[in-house]
Chains A and B, each alone.
Chain A
Amino acid sequence: MTSKTPQLNVNISVRYPPFELAIKQTIPVTGITGIFGHSASGKSTLLRAIAGLEKKLTGDITLGGIALINTQQRTYLKPENRQIGLVFQNSRLFDHLTVLGNLQYAAKRCQKSQLSLDEVVQLTKLKSLLNYSVNQLSGGQQQRVALARALLAEPKLLLLDEPLSALDQHSKTQLLQMLLSIQKKLNLPMLYVSHSLDELQQVCDNLIVMAHGKIVNRGNIHQVIHQLNNYSGNDSDNDIQNQQCNIIQQQTSLSLSIKTFNNGHGLTTLSLNKQQDIYLASDQSFKQQKQLRCFILASDISIALTEPNDSSIVNQLFGSIKVISHQTNRVLLTVTCGSQDFFVAISEFSQQKLSLVTKQHVYLQFKTSAVRTFIH
């Protein structure tokens, strides 16, 4: 693994008429970068191009200054020489080999072996499965083997193509936590493709949004999610973005520090700012964490004009309306609480009833159950 941060420069076109992937972008590959988009937006094709598996490609890709492909100069680095790992959706394990055999396959072919097989087995908790046939494993276990195998090839960049999409919630949670700890431990940059924003919100630092074979947005994960909220359903100029908007639920994406794990009532307290906290139900998995990623759906937040003292709803935040955006049959409010923007979806009827205007002071209310984490 490398301690330097490689820059991935992609300037490619891949054509499968009528689909065309056309990307011209420098992608900062630090930490975990998510790639989000609907089906046939080109996410997997982009990963395949980076890995060297895409044959109908024109253009060039460089990683950390090394040319992976340049069709004009006729240079092409074969997948086996790129030092790029890829974990596929369907694990692609070799079923003529045991779990250990699959891991050894990668370890034997790794030229600069810095990670030991034991280390990776420990990281991916595979010790008791080593002698099993891969066909005996559950989907989650198979993906862990695929992840371990990819790590043993010691890539400079690890690509993950919807690795959790076929797994149950328990396995998803387990693997996401594993990915985070591996990323931190090995300082391995990852590009993580998923159509699940919840998944990406939990692990990614940055997010790339793709539609129709193009990158339509990229940046800090929370900012990009918030920008996805803002595309109006009535704005015909933003057709591509609207399609993204239609497949996500408008939400506030947060990464907050944990103030108390349990406030004595089974609630974890998250610090929003000096004056205001957010509460959610405690989970054992929060215990080892300092920071918690969570999201609140815009439809789960309600507005009150006066402080709701007699309400059972625990989370009450004070803020002022920043933006009022009219969408199809509803209104999306951006409310600033301290320095954090919250997104609130209400009906036009409610907006008119409360006569809401920008800069107006309001109270936001939402239940503890509305504060969602991917880890259940």
Chain B
Amino acid sequence: MSNSDLQALFTTLEMAALTTVILLIIGTPLAWYLAKMTSRFKVIIEAIVALPLVLPPTVIGFYLLIAFSPEHLPGQLWQQTTGQQLAFSFSAIVIGSVLYSLPFVVQPLQKAFEQLGDSLIEAGALLGAGPIDRFFSIVLPLTKASFITAATLGFAHTVGEFGIILMIGGNIPGETRVLSIALFDHVEAFDYARAHLLAFSLLGVSMVVLALIYGLNLPKKHPRNKVELNNDK
């Protein structure tokens, strides 16, 4: 792999890792809120979260590009705070990735929280556990598989992004040039050998990730035999 490809790989991994961490931090409370919410506005929030699933990435990328430009408020605020332009920066592709991969993290977590219900959380409260304690001692261990799924899907989906990144990040080596864009460059340049290498790497990573998810989500095996009644005397 050439240096530029390696650089693209590191940029991709850095972006995906950061995106996943941010997604877990903001996605968990959002998913919890949606799982517990009974208001009629729930469907609206759910629709907004799910938008990236149906919208073409270029549409999201286009609106984000406008929002991130120094002529518009988000871009202006960013520039005032950091002193740097937001569009065509590493930060821009991370923000874009977070928005684009949001449903891949929120939806599995929301489903897991809904399935978990309130009964065990209530039991924990009655045993003296406060809300944070209950989350880490009951919710997290019991929804561990969904957190792994959410994190893996979020990571993998971010690694494979193309349209949004091209729109808001461009193709700046070491800054916004990620694997998918590097692959596109190789194809455009008819350098199929290097394109194959990158494509195969992405394919392999995706396969491993999916196998990992399915493996971790296999149901737990418990011995079928119940403890004999007279065993507890």
By a beta-carbon cutoff of 8 Å, the part of chain A in contact with chain B is 51-53, 78-81, 84-86, 88, 90, 92-96, 105-106, 109-111, 125-129, 132-133, 135-138, 140-141, 144, 149-150, 153, 170
Q: B222 and A135: CB pair below 8 A? A: yes
- Mind listing 5 A-B residue pairs with CB under 8 Å? A80-B127, A94-B124, A94-B142, A129-B231, A141-B227
Say whether B125 faces chain A, with CB atoms less than 8 Å apart.
yes
Q: In the complex, A84 Cα to B170 Cα: how many Å?
A: 60
Say whether B123 faces chain A, with CB atoms less than 8 Å apart.
yes
- Please name all residues of chain B whose beta carbon is closer than 8 Å to the beta carbon of A92 when the two chains form the complex: 119-120, 122-123
Q: A105 and B122: CB pair below 8 A? A: no
Say whether B67 faces chain A, with CB atoms less than 8 Å apart.
no
With A109-B129, A170-B229 known, 20 other A-B pairs at CB within 8 A are: A53-B125, A78-B130, A79-B125, A88-B119, A92-B122, A94-B123, A105-B127, A106-B128, A109-B128, A125-B232, A126-B232, A127-B232, A132-B227, A133-B222, A136-B222, A136-B226, A137-B227, A138-B227, A141-B227, A141-B232
By a beta-carbon cutoff of 8 Å, the part of chain B in contact with chain A is 119-120, 122-130, 133, 137-138, 141-142, 222-223, 225-227, 229, 231-233
Q: A137 and B119: CB pair below 8 A? A: no
- Please name all residues of chain A whose beta carbon is closer than 8 Å to the beta carbon of B138 when the two chains form the complex: 94
Q: A138 and B222: CB pair below 8 A? A: no
Known: A136-B226, A138-B227, A141-B232. A85 touches B126 (CB 8 A): yes
Q: In the complex, A80 Cα to B127 Cα: how many Å?
A: 6
By Cβ-Cβ distance, the 7 closest A-B pairs, closest first, are: A109-B128, A92-B123, A79-B125, A96-B141, A106-B127, A135-B222, A80-B125
Q: In the complex, A103 Cα to B122 Cα: how many Å?
A: 16
Q: A129 and B232: CB pair below 8 A? A: yes
The number of A-B residue pairs with CB atoms under 8 Å apart is 84
Identify the interface centre among A81, A92, A140: most chain B CB within 10 Å of its CB: A92
- Please name all residues of chain B whose beta carbon is closer than 8 Å to the beta carbon of A170 when the two chains form the complex: 229
Nearest Cβ on chain B to A278's Cβ, whole angstroms? 32
Nearest Cβ on chain B to A161's Cβ, whole angstroms? 11
Our pick among B119, B127, B222, B231 for the contact of A149 (Cβ within 8 Å) is B127
- Please name all residues of chain B whose beta carbon is closer than 8 Å to the beta carbon of A150 when the two chains form the complex: 126-127
Q: In the complex, A51 Cα to B125 Cα: how many Å?
A: 10
Q: B126 and A129: CB pair below 8 A? A: no
* Nearest chain B residue, comparing its CB with the CB of A78: B125
Q: In the complex, A45 Cα to B68 Cα: how many Å?
A: 53
* Nearest chain A residue, comparing its CB with the CB of B138: A94
Q: In the complex, A111 Cα to B141 Cα: how many Å?
A: 24
Q: A88 and B123: CB pair below 8 A? A: yes
Known: A128-B232, A129-B231, A138-B226. A53 touches B122 (CB 8 A): yes
- Please name all residues of chain A whose beta carbon is closer than 8 Å to the beta carbon of B227 when the two chains form the complex: 129, 132, 136-138, 141
Nearest Cβ on chain A to B141's Cβ, whole angstroms? 4
* Nearest chain A residue, comparing its CB with the CB of B118: A53
Nearest Cβ on chain A to B89's Cβ, whole angstroms? 42
* Nearest chain A residue, comparing its CB with the CB of B122: A53
Identify the interface centre among B124, B138, B141: most chain A CB within 10 Å of its CB: B124
Q: In the complex, A96 Cα to B120 Cα: how many Å?
A: 11
Our pick among B119, B126, B133, B226 for the contact of A79 (Cβ within 8 Å) is B126
Q: A84 and B126: CB pair below 8 A? A: yes
Q: A79 and B122: CB pair below 8 A? A: yes
Nearest Cβ on chain A to B127's Cβ, whole angstroms? 4
Q: In the complex, A137 Cα to B232 Cα: how many Å?
A: 10
Q: In the complex, A88 Cα to B124 Cα: how many Å?
A: 12
Known: A129-B231, A136-B227, A138-B226. A86 touches B120 (CB 8 A): no
- Please name all residues of chain A whose beta carbon is closer than 8 Å to the beta carbon of B142 when the two chains form the complex: 94-96
